[in-house]
Amino acid sequence: MKTHPLFTLAITTLSLVVGGCANAPQAQQFPQPSDLWESFSGQLQYVTPGHSVIGEFVASRHAADFHLEFSKGGAVPLIKVSRHDQLARAEGPLARGQWQGNAGSAPAALRGWVDEVPRAFLTLEHNMKIPRGATHPRLDVDRGRPRQFEVPGSQPGEKFVFILNH
């Protein structure tokens, strides 16, 4: 039985494409929050010039790892942010899709989310009087626990106001 050369070429090309997909590098896996992580929840007001969005957030941290989910009404996801050392990922409508890379080279609209916000949460302490990094222009403490804090964004007029549940 004789095989047509174009058929052989098509099968060879298809096997290379399918095999190449299997070997393609996958997106970096970020650690997921577990019982070892410290979690915070409450309300977040995200402000940019001309816009303000208020919703619920859940943030978790462990060592240099950070994870944040911000939603409206608890059911409509607005943005999810993950950070592992310098690697960051943001996805959702406020991220305008999905982005992943070095936090320092994030698009301007995401720098506050992937750089400023994780850094602020990593400075919070229990029984605190002032934050370790003094990056917060405003921090309200109730019985040594952070109650409300404001994080300036990376763009003019951008800020994040967190009100923590206790």
* Inside any domain, residue 9: no
- State pLDDT tens for residues 62-82: 888 999 999 998 789 999 999
3 state SS for 88-132 = EEEEEHHHCEEEEEEHHHCCHHHHHHHHHHHHHHHHCCCCCCCCC
Q: What is the pLDDT of residue 44?
A: 97
Query: How far apart are the C-alpha atoms of 150 and 52, rounded to whole Å?
Result: 14
Would residue 3 count as lying in a domain?
A: no
Under the banding of pLDDT at 50, 70 and 90, the label for residue 148 is confident
pLDDT digit string, tens, across residues 119-129: 998 888 755 55
Domain that holds residue 78: 38-164
pLDDT value of position 67: 96
The neighbour count for residue 79, using CB atoms within 10 Å, is 23
128 burial (CB, 10 Å; 0-12 / 13-18 / 19+) is middle
Query: Whole-structure pTM over 0.95, yes or no?
Result: no
Mean local confidence (pLDDT), 107-115 = 95
Residue 108 belongs to a domain with what CATH number?
A: 2.50.20.10
